[in-house]
């Protein structure tokens, strides 16, 4: 069995505490337990679970965690503050709540900016140092490992370097295992962070960590700069969640440390789970995964320009800084009017369609894509429609014609407004399938839903596989037009058969006609996936 990363470097996750402060995130205790399990699977060293005693939810989390969490890699951390001014740590209720949480590690937040001490804590600079000293030493005496977060450290250092450094020194001398330099307002730049971290390390001899907010867009860079200066403890959140614009993003930080710095900070093989873990946590917090997030975003290794595709066809590393499989992601080729022959060939292979190196055929597909995109179609997010387009061109090149599972004679959708304010939506389709003329009518909760139901009524007897299809996403975009409301409409539909999803596109003068095109492609592609061949 491979040994776990030792204690010489810490990956500390604060998604459950600092990340949960992001606008739009509201975690239940069950959510927090689920995220903790994902983070443990990823192999972080420490999971900060919240502030027990400060709110009932976090208190319940720690109580349930003792019974329900079986962590393999991570250690659970409780967060709290130093004791109140002019009191004793051993008698402070909030400090006692930290001990009662059962967490083996406790993170204390301490003021490191002189103005914050005087204006926010309303105490003296010396009393603040005593609050740090007393609380840290008391918790260490109780058998807890203590980390100290020096809040507003970098701003405090700029205002009064001597005092900010004294806070670090006091925490270290009182027994803190790590003293964390916090860019709480997120205003620092990498060169500043690196310079200050190096100076504090030399002045205090303390083991230093870094906690960076992302208000300048530099949180990941600031974290890595601190590591370059000697910090051996990084505090991050999954997907960069956090207050205001967020925190240092866990995933690009650990990827950079492992792949760029050559520093092993996760259990062996864990990095390959990174994309899955990122998306799983996004599902729990009910936010869509960022498509353009470094390393784990669906677009992180997506290539669109024809020049890129030509090079990638020779060697994928020519336009990729790492092999995407190392972080559990995949390379994708995007098809657009920028596409060249190499893009089309690579995309065909990705979709399981071999164009056989036929330059004339590939060029016809390129020309067809450019023609269709000029009309408003987009194939970047509609792989299924593009696969059908390629399949049709390939069949024509082989002397045949593009087969269909059904031929439409006509369709119509009616929306009726009633005097009582209610609506009725009805659709009728007339089509041919396997030599049989079928007429079907259905109602729905909208004209597109009615069309979808009518199509199912018509075809499910002949193609029972359609019963397992479900529409899971529907997007409409009104494209730029010259006549106000007389504009072209583009519809993107995502369909699933329970094991995979595929997306199709339709473009027309109105949303119903565009939706019909996308539905037609969605059913055709799904039946091909089911192993059927068109006969019409």
Instruction: Say how far apart CA 324 and CA 296 lie, in whole Å.
Output: 9
Q: Are 142 and 105 in contact (CB under 8 A)?
A: no
Instruction: Say how far apart CA 330 and CA 295 lie, in whole Å.
Output: 10
Which pLDDT tens digits describe the chain residue by residue (536 residues)? 334 457 999 999 999 999 999 999 999 999 999 999 999 999 999 999 999 988 899 999 999 999 999 999 999 999 999 999 999 999 999 999 999 999 999 999 999 999 999 999 899 999 999 999 999 999 999 999 999 999 999 999 999 999 999 999 999 999 999 999 999 999 999 999 999 999 999 999 999 999 999 999 999 999 999 999 999 999 999 999 999 999 999 999 999 999 999 999 999 989 999 999 998 899 888 888 888 899 998 777 776 654 444 554 555 666 678 888 889 887 766 554 444 555 666 666 666 666 666 777 777 777 777 777 777 777 767 888 888 888 877 777 666 666 788 888 999 999 888 787 778 899 999 999 988 999 999 998 888 899 999 999 999 999 999 888 988 888 888 776 545 555 788 888 899 988 888 889 999 888 889 998 999 999 998 998 888 887 65
SS3 sequence of 184-195: CCCCCCHHHHHH
Q: Are 10 and 209 in contact (CB under 8 A)?
A: yes
SS3 sequence of 114-170: HHHHHHHHCCCHHHHHHHHHHHHHHHHHCCCEEEEEEECHHHHHHHCHHHHHHHHHH
- Record the tokens describing residue 168, joined without a space: 């670090």
Q: Are 445 and 425 in contact (CB under 8 A)?
A: yes
Q: Residue 74: name the closest of 16, 138, 142, 136 by CA.
A: 16
pLDDT of 336: 47
pLDDT of 337: 43
Residue 123: Cβ-neighbour burial (10 angstroms; 0-12, 13-18, 19+):
middle
pTM of this prediction exceeds 0.75:
no
**Could you give the residue ranges of the DSSP H alpha helices within 356-506?**
359-375, 383-397, 447-459
Per-residue CA distances from 182 to 123, 130, 178 (Å)? 21, 20, 12
DSSP state of 289: P
pLDDT of 317: 63
Q: Could you count the other beta carbons within 10 Å of the beta carbon of residue 469?
A: 22
């Amino acid at each position: 069995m491979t040994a776990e990363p030792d204690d010489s470097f810490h990956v500390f996750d604060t998604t459950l505490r600092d990340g949960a402060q992001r606008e739009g995130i509201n975690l239940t205790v069950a959510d927090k337990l689920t995220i903790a399990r994902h983070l443990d699977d990823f192999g972080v060293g420490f999971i900060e679970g919240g502030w027990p005693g400060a709110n009932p939810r976090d208190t319940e989390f720690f109580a349930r965690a003792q019974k329900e969490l079986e962590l393999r890699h991570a250690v659970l951390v409780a967060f709290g503050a130093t004791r109140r001014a002019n009191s004793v740590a051993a008698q402070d209720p909030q400090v006692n709540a930290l001990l009662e949480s059962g967490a083996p590690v406790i993170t204390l937040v301490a003021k490191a900016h002189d103005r914050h001490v005087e204006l926010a804590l309303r105490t003296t600079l010396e009393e603040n140092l005593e609050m740090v000293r007393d609380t840290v030493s008391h918790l260490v005496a109780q058998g807890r490992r203590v980390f100290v977060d020096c809040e507003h450290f970098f701003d405090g250092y700029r205002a009064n370097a001597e005092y900010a450094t004294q806070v670090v020194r006091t925490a270290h001398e009182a027994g803190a295992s790590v003293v964390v330099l916090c860019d709480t307002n997120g205003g620092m730049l990498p060169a500043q962070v690196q310079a200050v971290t190096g100076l504090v390390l030399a002045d205090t001899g303390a083991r230093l960590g870094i906690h960076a907010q992302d208000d300048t867009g530099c949180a990941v860079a600031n974290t890595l700069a601190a590591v370059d200066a000697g910090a051996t403890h990084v505090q991050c959140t999954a997907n960069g969640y956090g207050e205001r614009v967020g925190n240092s993003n866990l995933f690009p930080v650990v990827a950079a440390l492992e792949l760029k710095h050559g520093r092993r900070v996760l259990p062996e093989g864990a990095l390959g789970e990174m994309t899955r873990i990122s998306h799983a946590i996004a599902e729990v917090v009910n936010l869509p995964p960022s498509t353009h997030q470094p390393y784990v975003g669906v677009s992180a290794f997506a290539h669109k320009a024809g020049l890129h595709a030509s090079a990638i066809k020779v060697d994928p590393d020519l336009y990729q800084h790492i092999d995407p499989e190392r972080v559990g992601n995949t390379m994708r080729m995007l098809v657009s009017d920028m596409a060249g022959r190499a893009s089309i060939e690579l995309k065909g292979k990705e979709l399981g369609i071999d164009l056989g190196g036929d330059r004339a055929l590939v060029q016809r597909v390129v020309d067809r894509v450019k023609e269709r995109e000029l009309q408003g179609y987009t194939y970047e997010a509609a792989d299924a429609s593009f696969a059908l387009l390629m399949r049709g061109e390939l069949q024509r090149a082989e002397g045949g014609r593009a087969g269909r599972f059904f031929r439409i004679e006509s369709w119509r959708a009616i929306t009726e407004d009633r005097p009582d304010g209610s609506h009725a939506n009805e659709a009728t389709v007339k089509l041919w399938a396997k030599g049989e003329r079928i007429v079907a009518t259905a109602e729905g909760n909208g004209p597109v839903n009615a069309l979808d139901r009518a199509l199912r009524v018509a075809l499910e007897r002949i193609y029972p596989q359609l019963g397992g299809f479900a529409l899971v996403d529907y997007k409409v975009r009104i494209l730029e037009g010259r006549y106000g409301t007389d504009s072209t409409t583009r519809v993107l539909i995502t369909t699933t058969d329970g094991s995979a999803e595929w997306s199709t596109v339709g473009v027309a003068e109105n949303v119903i006609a565009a939706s019909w095109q996308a539905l037609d492609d969605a059913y055709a592609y799904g039946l091909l996936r089911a192993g059927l061949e068109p006969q019409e």
